[in-house]
Structure 1
Amino acid sequence: MPLFPSSLIYVVDDDPAVLHSTCFLFESAGHRAVAFASGEACLTAFPGPSPAVVLLDQIMPGLDGIEVFVRLRHLDPRVPVVLVTGHPNPSIRRRAHAAGIFLVEKPLALDDLSGLIAAGRNDRERLWSGEE
């Protein structure tokens, strides 16, 4: 039984193994995961069904995760986004903080992923209520 019965999760990662395993983890917990192999591919899904959270890899060819996040904000300012990186260097941390995006490190466990969904839901509710 999923934490949130109709949770639609967008997973964006250029590494096919990470993309597949992350989607599998979400789906095994009862969520619907949609995989995107690039930030550009994810951006084409907007506007559309609003995901509970977008899990976005930072280091990808083409647009990096923070660049995708900035573009997502123009398409849907209320969609919760979590930046994921396997290379948490100080530069990425500073950029993520300046952009206002939540950053987590790989590898992720199922409990971490469930927490991200809950955080995304809380963020969405806070934005809808007008709190900032």
Structure 2
Amino acid sequence: MEPENAILVFVVDDDVAILHSTRFFLECEGHAVVTFRDGPTLLAAFPGPSPDIVLLDHIMPGMDGLEVAARLRDLDVRVPAVLITGHPDPAIRVRARAAGIPVVEKPLACNALLGLLAAYGARRSAARD
């Protein structure tokens, strides 16, 4: 069953189990999902089909999620991002807020994440009308 505001979600996480469970959860909610194991692989996907939102793991080898978000901006990719972290350090929240990126903690707060996705889906639908 596809929700009224189904969206295309790119998920970036170096943990394969998190990628699979997040993909399963979001697809069960009717969203289309593409997964990436690291930031450089995600960045290589642009230009290309643009997602409605990107979920970025905070701590990954090489580039962390905030660095990936900055690189997306450098590439002029105008896609909203959400930082996913299992290490809720106040400094991370400050950096994310300064970058204009909401933070969702692991284990994923499913209702909070679905609320964010619904808001982005509604904005996308409104922009099309």
TM over 0.5: yes
Q: For 2:120 and 2:46, how far apart are their aligned partners in 1?
A: 17
**Identity rate, percent:** 58
RMSD: 2.2
Unaligned runs of 5+ in 2: none
Q: For 2:76 and 2:3, how far apart are their aligned partners in 1?
A: 24
The equivalences for 1:112-131 within 5 A come to: 112-121=112-121
Tell me, what secondary structure is at the counterpart of 2:3?
A: coil
Unaligned runs of 5+ in 1: none
From the superposition, tell whether residues 23 and 51 of structure 1 become closer, same or farther in structure 2 (CA, over 3 Å): same
Moved more, 10-19 or 111-120: 111-120
1:100 aligns with 2:118: no
How many angstroms does 1:124 deviate by? Answer: 5.8
How many angstroms does 1:77 deviate by? Answer: 4.2
Tell me, what secondary structure is at the counterpart of 2:24?
A: helix
Q: Deviations over 1:64-122 (max 9, x none)?
A: 00000011112244211111101010121111111111111111244333212123345
TM-score (norm 1): 0.84
Q: For 1:84 and 1:3, how far apart are their aligned partners in 2?
A: 23
Q: For 1:42 and 1:52, how far apart are their aligned partners in 2?
A: 14
How many angstroms does 1:44 deviate by? Answer: 0.9
Give, as a single letter, the amino acid of the residue that structure 2 aligns with 1:47. P
